[in-house]
Structure 1
Amino acid sequence: MNKLTHFNTEGRAKMVDVSEKQVTKRVAVARGSVRMLPETLQLIRDRKVGKGDVLAVAQVAGVMAAKKTSDLIPMCHPIPITGVDISFKEVGDDTIVVESTVKTTNVTGVEMEALTAVSVAMLTIYDMCKAVDKGMVLGDTYLVSKSGGKSGDYVRKMGE
């Protein structure tokens, strides 16, 4: 396990100095799921949710969230995002899996941006559907993979 580097000599939180790191292409993929009533998923499919096209709005929200991550997470560096893609997959009759892919060419990675994108996209689905299904469950949010940088590539193993 790597040593945590977010603490100064007084033991207080700090933003890590990345000024000596190499610029590399970096990609991170994150995933999460929203479980809902089958009737709610059918409303989303049929685009009959009163607030509009749920997945279109969630997609835009996820992209916006990736770009604003450093405004939300105190120790994240503001970095130029070169690409964000949000996708949705239905699993069974009651779950939507949200996946984000975030890219940059920079000195630090985009794992937090990918996770934030998924989280906000899921929250947007909840927000747009809560009038018909307050019992939705947002969960299983995790980093699928990341590439680039000093620590190298990571691919999540099943069951991890």
Structure 2
Amino acid sequence: MGDRTTLTHIGSSGSAHMVDVGGKEVTVRLARAEGRVTMTAQSLETILAGDAKKGDVLGTARIAGIMAAKKTSELIPLCHPLLIDKVTLDIEPDSALPGLRVTAEVRVSGKTGVEMEALTAVSVACLTIYDMAKAIDRTMNIGDIRLVEKSGGRSGDFRRGAD
């Protein structure tokens, strides 16, 4: 799994730097992240009915999340720009929350992982949902944004356990 006692983006003098991935092998890497936006049941109904004043909340959030994954290296310092093979962003209603569950899956054939791209996609999709629906519900809550799984690369695979 590699040494987990040191930070890879901090040099010996304590200064931040971009990790050199030049010597790494190109492998298929995948990451999946999730998050959620909780809201009132009435707000969820309004969004699902397509009655939000700003338009198609789910479609716009899906596009925003995909675009964000592609722009991650411009948003997060020290991330490598990647030629992403695929981004999938799903938004599912959950009446038990009530709210929306957002899941992103990102895949690349490259020398570094796509965890940050998946997390960024989920974060921006959740923010877009909030922005588009804040006129109907300012009590919405964005939360539980986390990496669910990753595969490929030297550090091996990761899958979050049930929690």
Answer yes or no: is 1:40 the counterpart of 2:43: yes
Offset from partner CA, 1:83-140 (integer Å, 9 cap, x none): 0000012222511100000010000000000000000000000000001101100000
Could you tell me which amino acid in structure 2 is paired with residue 35 of structure 1?
Answer: T
Could you tell me which amino acid in structure 2 is paired with residue 148 of structure 1?
Answer: G
Secondary structure in 1 aligned to 2:150? strand
| TM-score, length basis structure 1 | 0.97
Matches within 5 A, 1:12-31: 12-31=15-34
Q: Distance in 2 between matches of 1:20 and 1:41?
A: 48
- Structure 2 alignment gaps of length 5 or more: none
Correspondence for 2:78 among 75, 95, 101: 75
Answer yes or no: is 1:101 the counterpart of 2:120: no
| Percent of pairs with identical residues | 51
Match of 2:117 in 1: 113
Moved segments of 4+, more than 3 Å: none
Match of 1:57 in 2: 60
Q: Distance in 1 between matches of 2:48 and 2:155?
A: 40
Residue-pair matches, total: 159
- Structure 1 alignment gaps of length 5 or more: none
Secondary structure in 1 aligned to 2:132? helix
Tell me how far 1:9 sits from its aligned partner. Answer: 2.5
Secondary structure in 1 aligned to 2:8? coil
Match of 1:152 in 2: 156
Could you tell me which amino acid in structure 1 is paired with residue 150 of structure 2?
Answer: K
Match of 2:145 in 1: 141
Q: Distance in 2 between matches of 1:121 and 1:20?
A: 34
